[in-house]
Amino acid sequence: ETPDIPNDFSCQTQDMRIVTCTWSQGGDTYLYGQKCLFLFYFLPFLSFFDSFSKKIIPCKVHCSEQCSCSWDIGKQQICNVTVTVENPLGKKTATDFFDVTHRIYPAAPFQLWEECTDTEVTLYWKQQNEELELFCQTEVLQPDGRVELHNSSDMYLHYAHITLGGLQPYSEYTARVRCGAAKHFWKWSEWSEAQTFRTKEATPSGRLDIWREITPVLGGRNVTLFWKQAPGFRANGRSISYEITYERIEDGSQPERVSFSSVHNSTRISIDNNSYRISIKAKNNVNYSLPSILIIPTATGNNRSIYSTEELKEEQVNGTDAGIFISWESRHMYDDYIIDWCNFPKLQPCDLQWKRFGSNISSALINSAAFVPGVRYNFHIYGSVANRALLLEKKTGYLRELPPLLDPLVKKVKLTSNAVTLSWDSYPTNESQSGFVGGYHVYVSPVQEDCSLKGSKKHVLPDNSVLCKYTIGNPGEKRYTVQHLLSNTKYRLAVKAYTGGGETPIVNFIYIDTPPDSEYL
Q: 305 pLDDT exceeds 70?
A: no
Confidence (pLDDT) at 188: 94
pLDDT tens-digit readout, 404-441: 989 999 988 889 999 999 999 889 989 999 999 999 99
Confidence (pLDDT) at 299: 84
pLDDT tens-digit readout, 161-207: 999 999 999 999 999 999 999 889 999 999 999 999 999 999 999 99
Q: 317 pLDDT exceeds 60?
A: yes
Domains observed in the chain: 7-102 (2.60.40.10), 110-198 (2.60.40.10), 208-296 (2.60.40.10), 323-398 (2.60.40.10), 410-514 (2.60.40.10)
Confidence (pLDDT) at 43: 34
Confidence (pLDDT) at 131: 80
Confidence (pLDDT) at 474: 95
Q: 304 pLDDT exceeds 80?
A: no
Task: Say what the pTM is.
Answer: 0.74
Q: 46 pLDDT exceeds 70?
A: no
Confidence (pLDDT) at 333: 92
Q: How confident is the model at residue 3 (pLDDT cuts 50, 70, 90)?
A: confident
Confidence (pLDDT) at 53: 58
Q: Are 343 and 350 in contact (CB under 8 A)?
A: yes
Confidence (pLDDT) at 341: 97
pLDDT tens-digit readout, 471-503: 999 999 999 999 999 999 999 999 999 999 999
Q: 156 pLDDT exceeds 70?
A: no
Confidence (pLDDT) at 33: 30
Q: How many CB atoms lie within 10 A of CB 73?
A: 19
Q: 365 pLDDT exceeds 90?
A: yes
Confidence (pLDDT) at 251: 79
**Mean pLDDT of the region 332-348:** 94
Q: 91 pLDDT exceeds 80?
A: yes
Q: Which residues of 108-138 are buried (b: 16+ CB within 10 A; e: fewer)?
A: bbeebebebebbebebbbebeeeebebbbbb
Q: How confident is the model at residue 5 (pLDDT cuts 50, 70, 90)?
A: confident
pLDDT tens-digit readout, 369-412: 999 999 999 999 999 999 999 999 999 999 999 999 899 999 88
Confidence (pLDDT) at 521: 43
Q: In the predicted model, what is the mean pLDDT of the chain?
A: 87
Q: 29 pLDDT exceeds 80?
A: no
pLDDT tens-digit readout, 11-24: 999 888 889 999 88
Confidence (pLDDT) at 300: 66
Confidence (pLDDT) at 113: 95
Confidence (pLDDT) at 302: 44
Q: 34 pLDDT exceeds 50?
A: no
**Mean pLDDT of the region 116-135:** 90
**Mean pLDDT of the region 66-74:** 87
Q: 318 pLDDT exceeds 80?
A: yes
Secondary structure string (H, E, C) spanning 380-447: EEEEEECCEEEEEEEEEEECCCCCCCCCCCCEEEEECCCCEEEECCCCCCCCCCCCCCCEEEEEEEEC
Closest CA to 351 of 200, 224, 162, 515: 224
Q: How confident is the model at residue 155 (pLDDT cuts 50, 70, 90)?
A: low
Q: 118 pLDDT exceeds 80?
A: yes
Q: φ and ψ at 256, to 5 degrees?
A: -105, 140
Confidence (pLDDT) at 76: 85
Q: Are 493 and 512 in contact (CB under 8 A)?
A: yes
Residue predicted with more confidence, 339 or 85 = 339
Neighbouring residues of 416: CB distance < 8 A, sequence distance ≥ 6: 514, 515, 520, 521
Burial label for 385, CB within 10 Å (0-12, 13-18, 19+), is middle
Confidence (pLDDT) at 55: 64
Q: 442 pLDDT exceeds 70?
A: yes
